[in-house]
Amino acid sequence: MTRHDLVIVGAGPVGMALALALKDAGLDMQLVDARPRGAARDDPRILALSHGTRLTLERLGVWDRLPATAIESIHVSHQGGLGRTLLQAEEYGQTALGYVVAAGALAAALDDALMAAGIPVREHTTVSRLVPGADDVLISLADGHNLSARLAACAEGSIVSDEESPLVERDYGQHAVISVATPATPHHGRAWERFTPQGPLAVLPCGHDCAIVHTAAPDDADDLLALDDTAYLARLQEHFGQRLRFATVGPRARYPLVLRYRQKPVGHRTVWLGNAAQTLHPVAGQGYNLALRDVWTCAQTLIRAGGDPGATETLAAYADARRLDRTGTIRFTDALVRLFSTSFEPFKHARGAGLFALDLLPPARHFVAKRMMFGARAWP
């Protein structure tokens, strides 16, 4: 049996970021991943990264390797009602509110940094079971071999409920249809969040193109996928409005939208991060940003504590440090979906009034923008 201080399960963007954040901590680390090394480089998804995430990626030494598109402003509106607000980076002394990056490009930059740092990845390795003990975690592998670690960090994979950390789940009854569209006129670095009764529609600047996250009921998502490009563009334009015209659209894919999270992100000698800790609705693009804030705090907590990385008091300190931001971000995204994805008439007027208030009251707008950039605690 091979023994380590830390075994990170999952070599995706979350697991690799944790390894880089701890590369100088003096820990004997091992990343294990069920896929071949570099598989995450082929991830076709588009990620919206906050300004705070950029700062963390700079600390990890990978930001300069990323082809990122700056989000200079965010236009928020809702279909069928008055009221809108505009967030602009210049109001906060920043060049950008956030950035749009291909998930595969981020994974490639992180993997290159891992190789440069000499951090090993054990590929084609599926973890079948974790058995925490008094002083370590026994990590059973599908091939019959075992690893031992003083701390197991689960950074990828589906969330499985257990006695240590009960699961909270909500099926939104929505699917996201994602694609990349080319606008007929320049987007000028603007992102749009358009709330419709069918669900939010996000349009993000991505190079000269726009990444589209088009939310719909499952049956409607089937219809959107079945349309030819011309018919789909017409439907997209109908939902989005006329603030930007789309000329062409690429291939479409879809995935179901749910809220699923562990009430406690730590267990006995185990910490859960990224999608293993929480899966959020993509509204406001907070998924990876929250995960990276978790990663950075986890790494800093382990470094400050020293000694046994799986000690109960160390993991409790991490969970306590992340409680406000994690809970706040989960509730914020959930509330946005439920408030804006309804045609109930009183809610429609309340939405419009809220958007008007954000536009007219700079302190309220500032409150929202800072939390989108840095999280619920609004700290970099």
Query: What's the pLDDT score for residue 369?
Result: 58
Task: Please say if the pLDDT value at position 340 is more than 50.
Answer: yes
Mean pLDDT of 272-283: 91
Lowest mean pLDDT among 18-27, 40-49, 65-74, 75-84: 75-84
Lowest mean pLDDT among 39-53, 297-311, 366-380: 366-380
Please give the average per-residue pLDDT across 25-52, as a whole number: 92
Whether residue 31 has pLDDT greater than 50: yes
User: Which H or E run includes 365?
Assistant: helix 362-374
Going by pLDDT thresholds of 50, 70 and 90, the confidence category of residue 115 is very high
**Among residues 347, 214, 25, which one has the least CA distance to residue 8?**
25
Alpha carbon 300 to its chain's center = 20
CATH 3.50.50.60 applies to domain 2-71+97-167+259-342 = yes
The pTM of the full predicted model, rounded to 2 decimals, is 0.90
Q: What Å distances lie between residue 108 and 54, 253, 274, 375, CA to CA?
A: 16, 22, 18, 25
Q: Computed from CA positions of residues 56, 62, 64, 70, in that sequence, does the dihedral angle turn out positive or negative?
A: negative
Question: Distance between CA 278 and CA 256 in Å, rounded?
Answer: 15
- Among 33-37, 83-87, 178-182, 308-312, whose mean pLDDT is lowest? 83-87
Please state the domain extents for the chain: 2-71+97-167+259-342
Q: Regarding predicted confidence, which is higher, 167 or 162?
A: 167
> Across the chain, what does the average pLDDT equal?
87
332-338 mean pLDDT: 81
Instruction: Give the pLDDT confidence of 241-260 residue by residue, as tens digits.
Output: 889 999 999 999 999 999 99
pLDDT band at 162 (very low <50, low <70, confident <90, very high): low
DSSP annotation of 91 reads G
Residue 361 pLDDT exceeds 70: no
- The average pLDDT across 88-115 equals 92
